[in-house]
Chains A and B, each alone.
Chain A
Amino acid sequence: MPITFKELTHEYNAGTPFAYLALDAIDLSITEGAITAIIGETGSGKSTLVQHLNALLLPTEGSLTVLDRTITATEKPKQLKELRKRVGLVFQFPEYQLFEETIAQDIAFGPKNFGMSEEEALSKAKEMLQIVGLSEDYLERSPFELSGGQKRRVAIAGILAMDPEVLVLDEPAAGLDPQGAKDMMELFVRLNKELHKTVLLVTHDMEHVLNYCDHVVVVDNGHIVQTSDKLHFFQDTSLLHKLRINPPAIIRLRDELNQRGFDLPCDILDTEVLAKAIADEVKHHE
Chain B
Amino acid sequence: MKKIQVSHLSFGYHKENPVIHDASFSIEEGSYTTIIGHNGSGKSTIAKLMIGLLESDSGVITVDGLELSEANIHDIRDRIGIVFQNPDNQFIGASVADDIAFGLENHRVPSEQMQGIIEEFADRVNMRKFLNSEPTKLSGGQKQRVAIAGVLAMKPQIIIFDEATSMLDPQGKAEINALIQDIHAQSNLTIISITHDIEEVAHSDHVIVLDGGHIVLDGSPDEVLFHEQELIDLRLDIPYALKLQHALKRQGLETKPCTTMEGVVDELCRLRLKN
Tell me the count of chain B residues lying within 8 A, CB to CB, of chain A.
54
A261 to B8, CA, bound (A): 52
Indicate with 1 or 0, residue by residue over A241-272, a CB within 8 angstroms of chain B CB atoms. 00011100110110011001110000000011
> Which residue of the partner chain, among B85, B170, B172, B252, contacts A148 with CB atoms under 8 Å?
B85
Q: Is there contact, CB below 8 Å, between A92 and B140?
A: yes
Q: Is there contact, CB below 8 Å, between B236 and A148?
A: no
Q: Is there contact, CB below 8 Å, between B38 and A177?
A: yes
With A149-B39, A261-B269 as contacts: A43 and B235 at CB distance below 8 Å: no
Residues of A within 8 A of B39 (CB): 147-150, 153, 175-177, 180
Residues of B within 8 A of A245 (CB): 169-171
Tell me the count of chain A residues lying within 8 A, CB to CB, of chain B.
55
Decide yes or no whether B240 CB sits under 8 A from chain A. yes
Indicate with 1 or 0, residue by residue over B246-275, a CB within 8 angstroms of chain A CB atoms. 011011110000000100110011011101
> Which residue of the partner chain, among A145, A178, A244, A278, contacts B196 with CB atoms under 8 Å?
A178
Decide yes or no whether B141 CB sits under 8 A from chain A. yes
A206 to B43, CA, bound (A): 25
Q: Is there contact, CB below 8 Å, between A178 and B198?
A: yes
A253 to B260, CA, bound (A): 11
A274 to B243, CA, bound (A): 12
Decide yes or no whether A95 CB sits under 8 A from chain B. yes
Least CB distance, A279 to chain B, in whole angstroms: 4
Decide yes or no whether A84 CB sits under 8 A from chain B. no
A79 to B96, CA, bound (A): 39
Residue of B39, B145, B166 most packed against chain A (CB within 10 A): B39
Residues of B within 8 A of A260 (CB): 265, 269
> Which residue of the partner chain, among B142, B144, B235, B248, contacts A177 with CB atoms under 8 Å?
B235
Closest residue on chain A to residue B253 by CB atoms: A279
Decide yes or no whether A110 CB sits under 8 A from chain B. no
With A92-B140, A246-B174 as contacts: A149 and B40 at CB distance below 8 Å: yes
Decide yes or no whether A19 CB sits under 8 A from chain B. no
Interface pairs (5), CB distance under 8 Å: A42-B167, A148-B44, A180-B235, A271-B247, A279-B251
Q: Which residues of A contact B (CB under 8 A)?
A: 12, 18, 39-43, 46-47, 92-93, 95, 145-150, 153, 171, 174-181, 204, 206, 244-246, 249-250, 252-253, 256-257, 260-262, 271-272, 274-276, 278-279, 281-286
Q: Which residues of B contact A (CB under 8 A)?
A: 13, 37-40, 43-44, 85-86, 88, 133, 137-142, 144-145, 163, 166-174, 196, 198-199, 232, 235-237, 240, 243-244, 247-248, 250-253, 261, 264-265, 268-269, 271-273, 275
